[in-house]
Amino acid sequence: MNKFKLWLEQTMMISFAIFVGIIIEGLVYSFMGDNLADFNMTWVQLVSVILTGAVCSLPTVFWLADTDIPKNKYIVRIILHCIGLYVVVCLFGWVFKWFVKFDGFIMMTVIYFLVYIFVWCVSLWFYKRDENQINKALDDIRDEE
């Protein structure tokens, strides 16, 4: 159940961050002179964002959840994870027509790395919060004894 919870949290964070990235992309294009009214998303693209979040969270759950390995091997895993997910996102972007021009691909790449950093920061914050709650509960149990 713990892996399912992690998968669901990661899926929601990734999908949310992608949606925020898309909103920022629309705003950037509107500031650059494009008509914001021309910026639209189809239902297929909306579903593709959620599907991307779900697919991208799977390697995190099964490959990065094991933190009992040496730090240098874990860093290599993170780098391979980042590159692998980038390939998945590029493939999904191509299949679901998230970009049609090279500048759209560049914007998607920037958004990808911002989303990746955002998800890592939020995940670390969640883990730290859970760790503090567990430590507090253990301290409360020790105090009762």
Domain ranges of the chain: 2-144
Q: What is the DSSP secondary structure assignment for residue 132, as one 8-state letter?
A: H
Mean pLDDT for 5-10 is: 86
Global pTM reads 0.73
Tell me the pLDDT band of 142, cut-offs 50, 70 and 90: confident
Q: Which of 89, 22, 31, 21 is nearest to 55 (CA)?
A: 89
Q: What is the DSSP secondary structure assignment for residue 32, as one 8-state letter?
A: T
Per-residue model confidence (pLDDT) at position 19? 86
> Does residue 33 come out as left (phi exceeding 0), alpha (psi in the -120 to 50 range) or beta?
left
- Cα torsion 18, 21, 27, 33 to 10°: value is -100
Q: Measured in whole angstroms, how far is the alpha carbon of residue 51 from the centre of its chain?
A: 12
Per-residue model confidence (pLDDT) at position 37? 65
Q: How many CA atoms lie within 13 A of 51 on its CB side?
A: 13
Per-residue model confidence (pLDDT) at position 39? 67
Q: Which of 79, 102, 76, 78 is nearest to 90 (CA)?
A: 102
Sign of torsion, CA 83 88 94 98? negative
Round to whole Å and give the CA distance between 25 and 106: 11
Mean pLDDT (the chain, rounded): 83
Mean pLDDT for 35-47 is: 76
3-state secondary structure of 134: helix
Per-residue model confidence (pLDDT) at position 65? 67
Mean pLDDT for 32-46 is: 74
In the chain, % of residues over pLDDT 90: 8
Could you report the per-residue pLDDT of 45-103, keeping only the tens digit for each? 889 989 999 998 888 887 766 667 888 888 888 888 899 989 998 998 888 888 778 88
Per-residue model confidence (pLDDT) at position 54? 92
Per-residue model confidence (pLDDT) at position 83? 93
